Amino acid sequence: MTRLLPPFALTLALSACVGAHGRAEPLYPIDGARPLPEKVARVGGYVLQIDDSRVNEGKMYEVLPGCHAIRTPERWGRGSETGAVSVRTGQRAFSIDAKPGYTYDVAIRTRFLGGGPTGTATLQVTETDADGKKTPDFRPQANPKCVEAEAP
C-alpha cells in the first residue's frame, strides 16, 4: 500500500532541500555577487564530502563547473511507521564533471526481493539539466581525484 504525504509535509520536505532565496549553499569563494544559478552546478544527496569540504547529507550545494571529487558516508538508512532499512555502503569515492545549470543527485536506490526482508541497494548519481531532462545511464568516474585530460 502506498502512503501519500499530506501537502504541507511535502512542501516542508522540498523546502528543506533548498537554501535561502531558492539557492543552494555555495562551495566556492564569493567575491561580490554570486554567479547566476545557470552558471553553477548543484550537487547533493547521499554525500559526505565535496572536494575538501565536509557537507551535510541530504542537502544541495552549489559548485563551479568542472571536475569535483565526491565521497559518500559509510552507512545509509531510512525509516517509516511500517519499518526501516539500513545499508552499509562503505565509503565510496568518485568524481563528476559538473556542467553549468545541471544538478547531480547522489542517492541509494533499494529493491526488495520477494517481499521479504532482503534486497539490493545501488548507489546512483542522477544528472539533470536545467530543463529537467535526465541523462540516461549517467556514470560518474571511479577516480576520486579530478585529473585533467592530457593533450595527445
- pLDDT of 82 strictly over 90: no
% of the chain with per-residue pLDDT over 90: 49
Domain assignments of the chain as residue spans, ordered by start: 9-28+37-128
Entry pTM: 0.76
Rounded-to-integer distance, Cα 23 and Cα 17, Å: 9
pLDDT-based confidence at 146, cuts 50/70/90? Answer: low
